[in-house]
Every structure is written in C-alpha cells, then in structure tokens.
C-alpha cells in the first residue's frame, strides 16, 4: 500500500495543472524508467490493471528519427526507430512506416539485442499466377497497401525480455515538381509518445533555393491537395536555416509538445516545400562522372488554349458526399477556364448524357452559367458504363478537332472521373483499354481520377499511361473537392506542346524519355542519360517545342564540369560495394527503372513484358532497389560490433563548400503561450494606433504630444525613415471603414499592413497583417499571427505572441512592437487592424525621419501665453497648471504650434496617456504636410524627406 499512496500523493501535488500537461510531464519523466514498477502497481491496484497491462505488454518506442539529404531534387532518407521491451518475457514489436509510393527502398537493417540482421535485395522468382496477385503477395518486410500516394512498410519481430530492437530503413526518391514547388514529406506516425523524436532534412541545390516553406503537420485526410487552410506556421520546435544553396530544417518536439499536437502521439506528415532558381534557355543540366540529368521548367510563357471534355461518373454509387464534392470542384474549375478555351461535359451511369451535343462551346459567362446548371442537376442513378462514356468523349473531341479550324498549338484533353468499376456495357479491362487507345489515336491526352476503395486503380493508371496523361486516386473520406481542384490546377495551364529534347547521338546513350506531348505550368520535365565521350568539354542540348504564338528552338553547349564540382563524397547510407556516390547516376537509374515499369504496364505482348521485367530487375539489383520484381530477404550478420549512429545516416554534405552546421537560420521554437509574455514587453508611448492616433513621448520633458492623421483608404504612411543610416524604413497602409453614427468624420482609417524594411547588413523585409507575417531575407517564410513563435535570421528577430502582438528586433538596437486588434463581432465602423509602437530606437540615427521618426532624437519646448504675445518657457513641474489654458504652444524646430490638453488610450485601451494635442493633421508640428509622408508603395524607402525610392 505504500506504493499506492505514493502515487496518489504524486498526482495530488499537481492539482491545478491542465490534464494534458500533467500527463505529458508525467510520461516524459517515466518513459525512460524501468517498467517493472508498473508490474507491481498492476498487481496491487486492480482498477488500473488493464491500462498498465497494455503498457507492460506493448514494447515502447524510445527513439524515432529521420534524416534526409536532398541533392538536386534527389532525396536519400534514413529512418531510425528504437523499441524497448521492459517486460518479463519476449514481446512482439511492429515497425511501420509510410513511405511515398514513388520511392524505392534501398536497405533495411534490424539490430535485436546483440544481433544484426541486414536486408539483401534479391530477384523475385517468376510466378505462374497473374502479375496482380504476385505483386500483392508481400513478404514480411515489405510495402503493403497503397493509400493516396503512400505505401506502408511493415516489419514484425519478437524482442527478448529487457532488451531493445533498432530498425533502420533507407529509401530514395526523385522529387516531382507540382504547382511550382517540390514537396518532400516525412510520415510521423509512431502511435505513441516518443522520448526522442527528431526529423532533420538537409537540402543542397546548386541552382539556389527559393520559396522554402514548412507548413503545419498534415493529417491523412488532407493528403495530396498541396494546400493548407488556416494556420500556415511551421510545427512547434521547427528550426529553419538556409544559405543561398543549402538549407537545414529540423523538427525536434519534446514529449510535452507532442501531447499538444496529439494526446496519444503525433499522427501526421512533416512537409517541406521549395523551389529553385532557374535560368531561361535550355534549363539546368548537371553532369557527374559520365552521367547527366537535365531539368527543364520554363516560366513566364503565355498559356496555350485548351479543348477539354469533362467525363463525370453519376452512377448510384456516387450518391452523397462524392457527387456533392465533385460538383463543388467543377464549379470552381469552370470559373478558372480562360476565354480562349472550349469545353463540354458528359455525365454517365448506365446512360450517357452529353451537355452540348456534337460540339465544344467557347468560354462565355452564359455558357459557364448553363454548365453549372447542368452539373447542379446531375443526380446519381444506375450502373457504370466506363467504356461507353470514354468512347463518347473521344468521338466528341475527335470530331471537334477534325471539323473546326482550331488553333494548331491548342491542347486537347479528357478529364475522366469515376468511383467504381465497369458494370454496364463492356466490362473487360483489357478491352476497355484497347477501345480507348483506338478511339484517342494519340491525338490528345486522357487524365483519370479515382475516388474511394471500389475503383479499379490499375485500369485508370494504365489508361492514363497509354494516353499521355496522369492519374490520381483519392480516398472516400477525404476532401475530394480540394483534391480535384488541385489536380486540375496541375494540368489547367499548358504552356508548351510537343516538347522534344535532343543530344548528339554519338555523345550520349541510354537516355530516358525525351519527348513530351505537353508541359504544364508549375511542373518539370526531367531527362537523364549516360555520356559516351567522357573527354568532351561540353554537351550540346537542343529543345524544340511550340507555344501559343510560335514554335521555339533552344540551343546550348553545356560545359561538362570538373568531377569535383558535383561530387558528393562519403555517403554512409549506401552499403559498401553496392552504392555509388554519384547521386546523378542514381537519379538516372531511378528514372530508367520507373520507365521500364511503366512500359511493361502498357504492354500487351508477353515476350516484351518478360524482357522489360528482366531489364528492370537487373538494374534494381545493381542499385539495390526494392521494386515489384525484387524483394528484401533478411540475413543474420552475427554479433553487432557497436556501430556508431553516424554509420546509418544519409549522404554526407562534406566537401560542398558550405557547412550546414554554421547556419544562422530561421528558428521557430515551441509555440507555447505564457501569461508572462505580455508583461515582459517593454514599449514606449511613441506609437501610431487606432484611427490612426499618433503619440510621441518626450521622457526628458516629462510630457507627450499627440496628433491625428486623417488619411484616405489605401494611403501608405511613412512612419520611420532612416534608410541611409541604419537602413530601416517602416511604412503603414490604411484601410477604410464607415464613420460611427453622428460623428464628425466622413470615414475611419486603420493600419491594415505594416511593412518593415531593413537594408543592413543585408536586405530583408517584414510584411505584417492581423492574420499573417511574411519574412523575406532572401528566402520567404510565411507565419501565422495565431501561433506563438520566435524566428531569427542574421540581424533580425521576430517574436509572435499568438493573436496579441509581434515584436521585431533589428541588430539588438532597434525594436518595434505591433499590436493586433481583432474583433469577434465587429461593428460596421470597426476593422481588424494593427497598432505600431516603438520599443527601442537607440539604433536609429539622428537623421531619422517619418511621422514618428523625426521626433525620436529631438526635444520640443512647451510655452505659455498667447501666440500674439511673448512666451514664457514652462518648467517641468508647471505642466499640470497649464491644462485648461487653450493658448499653450509648442516650440518645434523654431515653429510655434498651438496645442490643447487631451487624454488618449493606448496599448489596446489598457492605459490612458495625457498629451498635448496638435490639430489639423499636425500642421506645423511635423515637417511639411502629412501628404509629404505618403509612400508610393509599401516598399518605398524614401531616402530623403519628400522623395520616393524602391527597396
């Protein structure tokens, strides 16, 4: 009973703390403890037996870490997981990891006690059963099941009592560019709180990294849409650092932070999105040790006109959410069609209904309106005639192309959506594939979309592959509307057609696909190959294509770099004797195997299928990839010789020329809001807030001066201007609102945006609104005002107190505080807005200017008496006696300014300040008139009074 009483006292001492925090701290202290104490508690306390027995029987995860190195879009990932069995007998441990479906596993190792088991990639024996069955009959350690672009790797072992097991999984992938960004995703699903959880991603892009962003964790229901609604801040404990070509991102949440994300352990995807700098010309060609990879992604081209037919499943199985979300997505897609496009809609079940018979219609307001009505009236009924619907769509598009004088450079396509398998008409998959291919005849592309678990994914995938399209599959419980819109956005803006990339035949061999029917905005064309003549100084590249106005031809001789320039030495993640340090060669092998698998999928010839299978298997064995034709077989390596953790880390970046460890990058510590935060903020009364009301504090004179600026909505006021000396400029943009009833003003104005520009030592800027913050110091970072965070980079620090205030510190000598004013139920004359306060102005020069800046290093004198008589200077202790006197004046730079005594509320109305008020838009108080302080745009630095310059 002594133990039970001790436990009661331990919990009683913590009364008053939130339950989640109490439990999190308790677990954090106890996770590393021996579980034998739990056995005693379970025997002595029957009510707790079930919970504690579950803890005792399930091996706990003490460590989960992921380290990835991305080199020129090619990602090497190592997952390390340690599980501890503190029980009195052997227990089963299951290691599960979701990996991207396009990735290839390259190694797997298990260390159980003092024994090591390593994975050996071997070829699958040829089965007499169908390929489909063979592919889905998985060994113990393999991937199984596909969920919206992800596959699950699972390994199950028994851990001896009082021992631990360590799992090390390696996989590789070539990142694909979609909607203008590369997306790297790590699945974090330990399903329990983990004592040590860490993700580290190192990125090396020789072209230069741009637009790096880390959105919040994404759960399974939001996979695939590429967009995050609402909060856009990085997860708590995320640290982002970068230089021009290198980036390092870490995610290292404590147990307490994990409970704030999910009470029973994190369940989501950690995502990094970025893009690279691009030169116009032929693109980026990288060459290393006899291999090359060519990235081609032109921008700033006019879009090609589209001829598109939407073929939509309206069978009975689409009833409910699926059809509703499909309609919602189509309403948005129709709105995005361009005036030069033509379109039609086909709905199909057991019957096929064409919206506009025998034609495609132009995009006009009336046609869009009528199309929306047609979609709105679609009702689910009947079976699924996939073959008939595709034949009708293909005939409609073929006839339109043949009978109309369409633009030769326009792009024609069918977008086909279904949630089921064929049940009406032709139901044999091979026959449907053959009929579709014969109907399309390589004249346009077919893009397929499957929703739910009943869809024939392989049929849709092959139809798209055989007809130059792409396919997507979404789960039934996901947000289909956003997925559909996201997929359309990928293919909705064709920029080029008939793209062909050529290299001299006597210089290259084994080149991957080099002809592409279409190039869509935000995507990327990738070609790789081997060099025959390694002694040549250059590689000749020609790109031919057509866009909306002309045919284009691009030529360039690309210098073959010295081997050291692209060399990455020391890749411990690759096994000795099997891995090659040439990441470009591995990218080439990855692309080649993918193309062999796709070619085999499209082929109907058994001999050709066998040849392609053997070729893909041979290359996979050479590069140690797990594919549909290779498997991992576990071998025992004997006693484990205490390997250092570094031996299981992904490729090193030593020798690059820059060290990731030295980065002084963006830092986003835990987003924990504390009550003391507001109390620690020290700000002066010098501010611009409200309508807007300006206050200038003169501490040595022991009084304040205030004034109003009656600007117009859209005006941008220069608040602080010290660009030449300290490099700092602050501009505030006004938003309008109606005036309150019976007021003397025609309207109200508030600050909707505060822009802080800093030019020393390097250019950076902050753009702040009541909802979000953009920080750009060469890399763009988007933060939410609704989540507490601290971000640091070089000379700049931004501290966010959620939904309250933002403190900006520049070189530790200049500080500004921006208050956030948000209304739950705003009155008509209220708007969400910002208040600007100066906390520390020591770093601003004596020449600083602006509506507030001009007073920071100048004193004013308060005088008594009429403006028409001689003035007597007022002493500091006489201020109170002057309140009722309407003839008080200020002496500012030789100017006499009449003022009256007022009271004004600042700091969100929490403090009242008494001040001398200057009327008429601060006439004579400020240099010039307030219109001299209007900036032409938010980034106008105005290097001298009354001038405008761009940042």
Q: What band does 68 get if pLDDT is binned at 50, 70 and 90? A: very high
Is 915's pLDDT higher than 70? yes
pLDDT tens-digit map of 646-680: 333 233 333 222 223 223 334 443 333 333 333 34
Is 127's pLDDT higher than 80? no
Secondary structure (3-state) at 354: strand
Is 571's pLDDT higher than 80? no
Q: Please count the residues of the chain.
A: 951
Is 97's pLDDT higher than 60? yes
Looking at 570-605, list the stretches that DSSP marks H as alpha helix, in order from N- to C-terminal side. 583-602
pLDDT tens-digit map of 711-746: 888 899 999 999 888 999 999 999 988 877 766 667
Question: Which of 254-268, 545-559, 719-733, 926-940 tops mean pLDDT?
Answer: 719-733
Helices H / strands E in the chain, number of each: 17, 51
pLDDT recorded at residue 73: 93
Dist. CA 277–CA 210, nearest whole Å: 6
CB 281 within 8 A of CB 533: no
Residue 83 CB coordination number (10 Å): 24
pLDDT tens-digit map of 834-886: 999 999 999 999 889 999 998 888 888 888 654 444 444 444 444 444 444 55
Between 745 and 809, the more confident residue is 809
Looking at 404-477, list the stretches that DSSP marks H as alpha helix, in order from N- to C-terminal side. 429-440, 457-466
What value does the mean pLDDT take over residues 242-260?
A: 89
Dist. CA 541–CA 503, nearest whole Å: 5
Dist. CA 838–CA 855, nearest whole Å: 12
Q: Retrieve residue 432's tokens.
A: 């449907």
Which of 36, 30, 31 minimizes the C-alpha distance to 60?
A: 31
Is 493's pLDDT higher than 80? yes
SS3 track for 636-651? EEEECCCCCHHHHCCC
DSSP state of 908: T
Is 818's pLDDT higher than 90? yes
Q: What band does 887 get if pLDDT is binned at 50, 70 and 90? A: low
pLDDT recorded at residue 341: 92
pLDDT tens-digit map of 12-58: 333 333 344 444 444 444 443 333 333 333 333 344 434 444 445 67
Is 267's pLDDT higher than 50? yes
What value does the mean pLDDT take over residues 235-264?
A: 88
Is 791's pLDDT higher than 90? no
Dist. CA 592–CA 525, nearest whole Å: 14
- The answer to whether the peptide bond before residue 942 is cis (omega within 30 degrees of 0) is no
Dist. CA 901–CA 718, nearest whole Å: 26
Which of 32, 58, 59, 81 minimizes the C-alpha distance to 187?
A: 81
Dist. CA 66–CA 73, nearest whole Å: 18
Question: Which of 278-282, 647-651, 761-765, 843-847 tops mean pLDDT?
Answer: 843-847
What value does the mean pLDDT take over residues 608-618?
A: 91
Burial class (CB in 10 A: 0-12, 13-18, 19+), 776: middle
CB 794 within 8 A of CB 762: yes
What value does the mean pLDDT take over residues 346-360?
A: 93
548 contacts: CB under 8 Å, gap ≥ 6: 301, 302, 303, 304, 305, 407, 409
Average of per-residue pLDDT values in the chain: 79
Between 524 and 325, the more confident residue is 524
DSSP β-ladder status, 728-738 and 747-758: antiparallel
Global pTM? 0.61
pLDDT recorded at residue 944: 53
- The answer to whether the peptide bond before residue 692 is cis (omega within 30 degrees of 0) is yes
* % residues pLDDT > 70 (the chain): 78
CA within 13 Å, CB half, 442 = 3
Burial class (CB in 10 A: 0-12, 13-18, 19+), 398: middle
Dist. CA 853–CA 719, nearest whole Å: 6
Q: What band does 566 get if pLDDT is binned at 50, 70 and 90? A: low
What value does the mean pLDDT take over residues 433-446?
A: 91
Burial class (CB in 10 A: 0-12, 13-18, 19+), 115: middle
pLDDT tens-digit map of 130-186: 444 333 333 344 444 455 578 889 998 999 988 999 999 999 999 999 989 999 999
Q: Retrieve residue 775's tokens.
A: 């920080």
Secondary structure (3-state) at 241: strand
Is 254's pLDDT higher than 80? yes
Residue 824 CB coordination number (10 Å): 4
DSSP state of 849: B
Distance (Å) of CA 882 to CA 567, 685, 886, 914: 78, 21, 9, 12
> Virtual CA dihedral for 575, 578, 583, 584, nearest 10 degrees?
-170
pLDDT recorded at residue 202: 95
- CA 467, 472, 476, 480 torsion-angle sign: negative
- CA 359, 365, 370, 373 torsion-angle sign: positive
DSSP β-ladder status, 60-71 and 196-204: parallel
End-to-end Cα, the chain, rounded Å: 72
Secondary structure (3-state) at 206: coil
Q: Retrieve residue 74's tokens.
A: 């090619």
pLDDT recorded at residue 942: 74
Is 790's pLDDT higher than 90? no
Type and span of the H or E element at 904: strand 900-906
Asked which of 106-115, 336-345, 703-712, 862-871 is least confident by mean pLDDT, the reply is: 862-871
Q: Retrieve residue 20's tokens.
A: 């989640």
Which of 595, 571, 596 minimizes the C-alpha distance to 581?
A: 571
| Phi, psi for 36 (deg, rounded to 5) | -65, -30
pLDDT recorded at residue 653: 30
Between 333 and 128, the more confident residue is 333
pLDDT recorded at residue 939: 85
pLDDT recorded at residue 867: 41
pLDDT recorded at residue 864: 64
492 contacts: CB under 8 Å, gap ≥ 6: 306, 333, 336, 520
Owner of token pair 């010789």:
641
Distance (Å) of CA 701 to CA 696, 705, 890, 922: 12, 11, 12, 20
Dist. CA 757–CA 938, nearest whole Å: 9
Owner of token pair 């008053």:
16
Q: What band does 945 get if pLDDT is binned at 50, 70 and 90? A: low
- CA 877, 879, 885, 887 torsion-angle sign: positive
| Phi, psi for 791 (deg, rounded to 5) | -125, 130
Burial class (CB in 10 A: 0-12, 13-18, 19+), 909: exposed
Is 281's pLDDT higher than 70? yes
Dist. CA 408–CA 421, nearest whole Å: 36
Q: Retrieve residue 826's tokens.
A: 């705003």
pLDDT recorded at residue 745: 66
Distance (Å) of CA 633 to CA 122, 336, 622: 7, 51, 16
């Amino acid at each position: 009973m002594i133990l039970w009483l001790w436990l009661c006292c331990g919990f009683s001492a913590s009364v008053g703390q939130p339950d989640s925090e109490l439990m999190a701290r308790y677990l954090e202290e106890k996770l590393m403890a021996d579980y034998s104490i739990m056995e005693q508690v379970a025997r002595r306390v029957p009510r707790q037996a079930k919970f504690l027995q579950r803890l005792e029987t399930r091996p706990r995860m003490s460590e989960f870490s992921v380290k990835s190195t991305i080199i020129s879009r090619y990602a090497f990932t190592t997952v390390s997981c340690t599980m501890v069995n503190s029980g009195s007998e052997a227990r089963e441990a299951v290691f599960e990891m979701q990996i991207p479906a396009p990735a290839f596993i390259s190694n797997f190792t298990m260390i159980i006690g003092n024994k090591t088991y390593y994975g050996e990639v071997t070829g699958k024996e040829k089965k007499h059963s169908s390929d489909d069955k063979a592919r889905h009959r998985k060994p113990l350690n393999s991937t199984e099941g596909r969920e919206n672009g992800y596959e699950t790797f699972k390994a199950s072992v028994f851990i001896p009592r009082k021992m631990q097991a360590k799992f090390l999984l390696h996989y590789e992938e070539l990142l694909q560019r979609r909607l203008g960004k590369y997306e790297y995703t790590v699945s974090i699903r330990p399903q329990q709180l983990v004592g040590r959880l860490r993700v580290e991603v190192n990125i090396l892009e020789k072209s230069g990294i741009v637009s790096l962003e880390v959105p919040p964790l994404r759960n399974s229901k939001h996979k695939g849409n590429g967009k995050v609604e609402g909060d856009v801040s990085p997860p708590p404990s995320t640290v982002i650092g970068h230089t021009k070509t290198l980036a390092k991102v870490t995610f290292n949440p404590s147990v307490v932070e994990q409970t704030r994300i999910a009470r029973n352990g994190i369940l989501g995807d950690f995502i990094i999105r970025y893009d690279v700098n691009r030169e116009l010309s032929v693109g980026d060609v990288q060459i290393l040790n006899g291999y090359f990879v060519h990235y081609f992604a032109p921008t700033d081209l006019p879009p090609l006109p589209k001829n598109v037919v939407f073929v939509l499943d309206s069978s009975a199985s689409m009833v409910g959410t699926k059809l509703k979300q499909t309609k919602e997505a189509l309403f948005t897609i129709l709105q995005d069609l361009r005036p030069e496009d033509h379109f039609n809609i086909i709905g199909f079940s057991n019957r096929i209904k064409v919206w506009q018979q025998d034609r495609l219609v132009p995009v006009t307001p009336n046609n869009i309106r009528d199309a929306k009505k047609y979609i709105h009236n679609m009702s689910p009924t009947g079976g699924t005639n996939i073959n008939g619907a595709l034949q009708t769509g293909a005939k409609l598009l073929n006839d339109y192309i043949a009978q109309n004088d369409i633009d030769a450079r326009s792009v024609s396509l069918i977008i086909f959506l279904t949630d089921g398998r064929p049940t009406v008409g032709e139901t044999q998959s091979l026959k449907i594939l053959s009929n579709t291919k014969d109907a399309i005849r390589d004249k346009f592309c077919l893009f397929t979309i499957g929703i739910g678990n009943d869809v024939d994914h392989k049929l849709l995938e092959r139809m798209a592959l055989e007809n130059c399209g792409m396919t997507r599959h979404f789960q039934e419980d996901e947000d289909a509307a956003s997925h559909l819109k996201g997929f359309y956005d990928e293919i909705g803006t064709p920029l080029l057609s008939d793209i062909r990339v050529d290299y001299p035949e006597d210089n290259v061999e084994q080149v991957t696909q080099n002809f592409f029917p279409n190039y869509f905005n935000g995507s990327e064309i990738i070609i790789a190959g081997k060099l025959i003549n390694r002694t040549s100084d250059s590689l000749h590249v020609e790109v031919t294509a057509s866009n909306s106005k002309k045919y284009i031809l691009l030529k360039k001789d690309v210098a073959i770099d010295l081997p050291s320039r692209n060399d990455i030495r020391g890749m411990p993640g690759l096994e000795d004797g099997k891995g090659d340090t040439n990441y470009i060669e591995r990218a080439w092998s990855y692309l080649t195997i993918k193309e062999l698998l796709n070619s085999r999928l499209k082929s109907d010839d058994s001999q050709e299928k066998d040849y392609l299978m053997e070729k893909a298997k041979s290359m996979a064995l050479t590069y140690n990839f797990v594919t549909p034709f290779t498997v991992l077989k576990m071998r025992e390596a004997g006693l484990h010789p205490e390997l250092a953790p570094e031996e299981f880390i992904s490729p090193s970046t030593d020798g690059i020329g820059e060290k990731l460890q030295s980065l002084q990058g963006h830092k986003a510590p835990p987003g924990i809001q504390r009550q003391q935060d507001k109390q620690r903020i020290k700000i002066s009364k010098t501010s611009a807030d409200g309508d807007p009301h300006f206050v200038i504090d003169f501490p040595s004179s022991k009084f304040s001066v205030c004034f109003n600026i009656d600007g117009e909505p859209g005006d941008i006021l220069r608040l602080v201007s010290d660009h030449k000396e300290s490099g700092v400029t602050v501009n505030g943009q006004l938003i309008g609102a109606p005036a309150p009833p019976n007021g003397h003003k025609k309207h109200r104005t508030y600050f909707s945006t505060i822009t802080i520009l800093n030019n020393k030592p390097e250019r950076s800027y902050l753009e702040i609104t009541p909802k979000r913050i953009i920080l750009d110091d060469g890399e763009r970072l988007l933060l939410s005002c609704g989540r507490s965070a601290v971000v640091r980079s070089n000379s700049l620090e931004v501290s966010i107190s959620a939904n309250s205030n933002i403190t900006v510190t520049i070189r530790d000598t200049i500080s500004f505080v921006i208050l956030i004013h948000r209304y739950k139920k705003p009155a008509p004359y209220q708007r969400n807005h910002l208040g600007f306060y100066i906390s520390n102005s020591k770093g601003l020069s004596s020449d600083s200017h602006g509506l507030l800046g001009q007073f920071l290093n100048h004193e004013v004198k308060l005088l008594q008496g009429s403006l028409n008589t001689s003035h007597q200077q007022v002493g500091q202790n006489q201020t109170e006696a002057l309140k009722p006197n309407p003839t008080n004046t200020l002496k500012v730079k030789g100017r006499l300014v009449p003022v009256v005594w007022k009271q004004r509320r600042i700091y969100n109305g929490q403090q009242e300040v008494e001040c001398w008020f200057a009327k008429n838009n601060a006439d004579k108080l400020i240099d010039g008139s307030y219109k001299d302080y209007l900036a032409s745009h938010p980034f106008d630095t105005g290097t001298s009074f009354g001038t405008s310059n761009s940042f």
